[in-house]
Amino acid sequence: MNIVIVGHVDHGKSTVVGRLLHDTGSLPDGRIEQVRRNCERSGKPFEYAFLIDALRDEQAQGITIDAARVFFRSARRRYIIIDAPGHVEFPEEHDLRRRPRRGGDPGDRRPRRGARELPPSRLHDRDAGHPADPGGGEQDGSGRLRPVGVHGHSRGVRGVSRRDPGHAARVRPGERAPWRQLVALSPRTPWYTGPPLLERIDALDSAGPETEHALRLPVQDVYKFPVRGDDARIIAGTITTGRVAVGDTVEFLPSGKRSRVRSIEGFEIPPTREAAAGDATGVTLTEELYVRPGEMMYRVGEAMPRVGTTFRANLFWLDRNPLVRGRRYLLKLASTRVTVHVKEIVQVLDADTLERSNAKQHVGRHEVAECVLETHKPIAFDLGIDADLVATGRFVLVDQYEIAGGGIITEYLSDLSESLREHVRRRDYAWVDGAISGGERADRYGQRPRLVVLTGSVHPLLVRVARDVERELFHGGNNVYYFGLSNLAGGLDADIEREHQSSSGETRDENIRNLGEIAHFLTDSGQIVITTVADLDGYEAETLRILNQPNDMLIVRAGDDRHGVQADLVLPPELSPEEAAAAVCRRLRAEDQSESEEADV
Of 334, 267, 328, 441, the residue nearest 111 (C-alpha):
334
Identify the CA nearest to 217 among candidates 245, 246, 242, 234. 242
Q: 452 - beta bridge partners?
A: 530, 554
Q: How many CB atoms lie within 10 A of CB 145?
A: 23
Residue pair 261/232 in contact (Cβ under 8 Å)? The answer is no
Helix (H/G/I), strand (E/B), else coil: 125? strand
Q: Cis ω on the peptide bond leading into residue 254 (within 30° of 0)? A: yes
pLDDT score, position 146: 56
* Residues 275 and 253: beta-carbon distance below 8 Å: no
pTM of the model: 0.68
For the chain (length 601 residues), average pLDDT per consecutive 10? 74 80 83 86 82 52 56 82 60 40 34 33 42 40 54 53 44 49 79 83 74 92 80 91 95 92 89 92 91 94 92 93 93 93 91 82 91 91 86 93 93 78 84 88 90 89 93 93 82 57 64 91 94 88 90 89 82 91 92 68 51
Report pLDDT digits (tens) over 238-250.
999 999 999 999 9
Nearest Cα to Cα of residue 540 among 453, 460, 423: 453
pLDDT tens digits, one per residue of 11-67: 777 788 888 888 888 888 888 888 888 888 888 888 887 777 554 444 454 444 456
Nearest-angstrom CA–CA distance, 103 and 2: 9
**What are the chain's domains?**
2-203 (3.40.50.300), 211-299 (2.40.30.10), 306-414 (2.40.30.10), 432-600 (3.40.50.300)
Measure the CA–CA gap between 541 and 547, rounded to whole angstroms.
10
Q: What is the DSSP letter of 584?
A: H
**In sequence order, which residues have a C-beta less than 8 Å from that of residue 86 and are 6 or more positions away?**
6, 7, 8, 9, 10, 11, 13, 63, 64
Q: What per-residue confidence (pLDDT) applies to 236?
A: 95
> How is residue 514 annotated by DSSP?
H
**Cα(217)–Cα(295) distance, integer angstroms:** 9
In angstroms, rounded to a whole number, what is the distance separating the alpha carbons of residues 505 and 377?
10
pLDDT for position 82: 79
Rounded distance between C-alpha atoms, residue 15 and residue 52, angstroms: 8
pLDDT on residue 395? 96
Are β-strands 230-238 and 221-225 bridged in parallel, bridged antiparallel, or unpaired?
Answer: antiparallel
Instruction: Please tell me the predicted confidence (pLDDT) of residue 398.
Output: 94
Pairing of strands 172-173, 362-363: unpaired
Q: What is the pLDDT of residue 276?
A: 93
Would you put residue 471 in left (φ > 0), alpha (ψ -120 to 50) or beta?
alpha
Write down the pLDDT at residue 263: 93
Residue 465 dihedral angles phi and psi, to the nearest 5°: -65, -40
Cα 73 to Cα 53: distance, rounded to the nearest angstrom: 20
What's the rounded Cα separation, in Å, for the pair 473 and 481? 10
In this structure, the dihedral spanned by the alpha carbons of residues 345, 349, 352 and 353, taken in order and rounded to 10 degrees, is 120
CA neighbor of 124 nearest in space, from 16, 5, 221, 42: 5
- Cα–Cα distance measured from residue 13 to residue 174, given in angstroms and rounded to the nearest whole number: 11
Task: Give ∠ CA 154-312-331 in degrees, rounded to 5.
Answer: 95
* Rounded-to-5 percentages of helix, strand, coil across the chain: 30, 30, 40
Nearest to 512 by CA among 543, 550, 482, 487: 543
DSSP of 284-309: EESS-----TT-EEEEBTBPPPEEEE
Nearest to 558 by CA among 474, 483, 486, 468: 468
Among candidate residues 195, 284, 296, 214, the one with its CA nearest the CA of residue 255 = 296
SS3 state at 180: coil
Rounded to whole angstroms, the Cα distance separating 225 from 227 reads: 5
